[in-house]
């Protein structure tokens, strides 16, 4: 058997983690031949609930789950880890925007960025806790770990987009490829139907309805999180966990030729974005495990205006948290 992969999950007694933990322990992310050592982080008042989650994990008798650590210390949780799902943060309630969480949740990522620094030399961190792009920026800025090891989750937006385009075109979800969601996981994100494909053809050729694409499609994806909160009374959990798993898989498995996935990564200036912002880009992962931003995708003036708006929004979020950046 290979060495166990050490995976930390923060907010481990919360809704999203309740789905992530079981699927990671079952081998769905890192492979059926890779044992898993789970390191679960919670705040002190949630430790009892976390013990309950650990009991349930134990009761699943997952053959790959070799060890579980439960802790309220980020340093302990991050000691020697290979991956961390940074989920632990408050969710928004009805009527709130994700950015309204920034001053409450941002400081969590200062301490955890520092803790990553001390505990983990070979780690990759993905951020789910909202507002995830800017929280990722905070964690990255407070850490000396290479910037390309940090990412934030746009995958729920990608999956929502693919599902909607499949539904509208009457084609299976698997036919929808090349789905980039640019910028921020916010209601200004830009799900790029212009470069998406359905059955290998440009999406606007297959769905010949520009007003549906520009208005209904874009707005539905942008507002889907709020709609789920309105309907469920709580923010998306199983679909968010599923997206977190897809996100990690898309960074550790080679991307099928010609396709891409949406991941928010540290900008190196691609498409004119400020260097250092955590920006949602189309990403391809190579066979050697490295990844890169897909460059040179065209955008209409209409799309460029959406892109510029979300870029500006991320600049503003960075300004709001500048006291938390190193």
Residues binding ligand NAD (CB under 6 A)? 10-11, 13-16, 41-43, 46, 87-92, 108, 128-130, 132, 153, 156, 185, 235-237, 240
The H or E element containing residue 180 is strand 180-182
Packing angle, helices 218-232 and 155-169, rounded to 10: 110
Contacts of ligand LMR in 240-259 (CB under 6 A): 240
DSSP code, position 183: B
The CB-of-185 to ligand NAD minimum distance in angstroms stands at: 5
Select the span of 74-82, 91-99, 202-210, 276-284 touching ligand LMR (CB under 6 A). 91-99
- Copy the structure tokens of residue 279: 């920006």
Closer CB to ligand LMR, 114 or 306, in the complex: 306
* Closest distance of CB 263 from ligand NAD, Å: 12
Residue nearer to ligand LMR on the CB measure, 180 or 198 = 180
156 binds ligand LMR (CB under 6 A): yes
Per DSSP, the three-state class of 2 is coil
Catalytic, out of 37, 185, 247, 311: 185
State in angstroms the smallest separation of the CB of 7 from ligand NAD: 15
Backbone angles phi and psi of 285, in degrees to 5:
-105, 135
Does the protein bind ligand LMR through residue 152 (CB under 6 A)?
no
Q: Based on the shown chain and the rule CB under 6 A, indicate whether residue 197 belongs to the binding site for ligand LMR.
A: no
Q: Give min distance, CB of 160 to ligand LMR, in A.
A: 8
**Distances, alpha carbon 37 to alpha carbons 27, 192, 218, in Å:** 11, 38, 40
Residue 185 annotated as catalytic: yes
Contact window for ligand LMR (CB under 6 A) among 204-212, 228-236, 248-256, 293-301? 228-236
Give the binding range for ligand LMR (CB under 6 A) out of 33-41, 59-67, 106-114, 226-234: 226-234
Burial (0-12, 13-18, 19+ Cβ within 10 Å), 164? buried
- For residue 131, say if its preceding peptide bond is cis, omega within 30 degrees of 0: yes
310's CB contacts (< 8 A; 6+ apart) are 182, 183, 184, 186, 188, 189, 190
Q: Per rule CB under 6 A, is residue 98 in the interface with ligand LMR?
A: yes
- The Cα 297–Cα 178 span in angstroms is 11
When asked if residue 92 is in the footprint of ligand LMR (CB under 6 A), the reply is: yes
Q: Is 134 in the site for ligand LMR (CB under 6 A)?
A: no
**Contacting residue, 106, 183, 225, 280, with ligand LMR by CB under 6 A:** 225
Q: Where are the alpha helices (DSSP H) in the chain?
A: 17-25, 47-59, 74-78, 102-119, 132-141, 155-169, 203-206, 210-211, 218-232, 238-252, 301-320
Q: Which does 228 bind (CB under 5 to 8 A by kind): ligand NAD, ligand LMR, none?
A: ligand LMR
Residue 250 near residue 283, CB atoms below 8 Å: yes
* Of 195, 148, 169, 181, residue with least CA distance to 261: 181
In this chain, which stretch among 195-203, 235-243, 250-258, 292-300 interacts with ligand LMR, using CB under 6 A? Answer: 235-243
Active-site amino acid positions? 185
Give contact residues for ligand LMR (rule: CB under 6 A).
91-92, 98, 130, 156, 185, 225-226, 228-229, 235-236, 240
């Amino acid at each position: 058997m290979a060495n166990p992969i050490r995976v930390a999950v923060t907010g481990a007694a919360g809704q999203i983690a309740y789905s992530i933990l079981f699927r990671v322990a079952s081998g769905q992310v890192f492979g059926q031949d890779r044992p898993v050592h789970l390191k679960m982080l919670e705040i002190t008042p949630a430790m009892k609930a976390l013990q309950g989650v650990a009991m349930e994990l134990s009761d699943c008798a997952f053959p790959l789950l070799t060890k579980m650590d439960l802790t309220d210390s980020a340093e302990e949780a991050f000691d020697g880890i290979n991956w961390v799902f940074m989920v632990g943060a408050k969710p928004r309630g009805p009527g709130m925007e994700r950015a309204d969480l920034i001053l409450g949740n941002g400081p969590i990522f200062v301490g955890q960025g520092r803790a990553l620094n001390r505990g983990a030399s070979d780690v990759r961190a993905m951020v789910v806790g909202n507002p995830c792009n800017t929280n990722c920026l905070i964690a990255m800025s407070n850490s000396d770990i290479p910037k390309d090891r940090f990412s934030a989750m746009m995958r729920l937006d990608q999956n929502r987009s693919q599902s909607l385009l499949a539904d509208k075109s009457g084609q299976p979800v698997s036919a929808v490829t090349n789905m980039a969601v640019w910028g921020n996981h916010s209601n200004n994100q830009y799900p790029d139907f212009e470069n998406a494909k359905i059955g290998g053809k440009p999406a606007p050729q297959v769905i010949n309805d520009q007003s549906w694409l520009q208005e209904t499609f874009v707005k539905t994806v942008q507002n889907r999180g709020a709609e789920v909160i309105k309907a469920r009374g709580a923010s998306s959990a199983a679909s968010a966990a599923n997206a977190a798993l897809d996100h990690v898989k898309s960074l550790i498995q080679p991307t099928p030729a010609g396709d891409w996935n949406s991941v928010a990564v540290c900008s190196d200036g691609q498409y004119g974005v400020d260097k250092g912002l955590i920006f949602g880009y189309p990403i391809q992962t190579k066979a050697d495990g490295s990844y890169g931003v897909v460059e040179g995708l065209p955008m209409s003036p209409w799309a460029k205006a959406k892109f510029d708006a979300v870029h500006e929004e991320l600049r503003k979020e960075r300004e709001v948290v500048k006291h938390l950046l190193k």
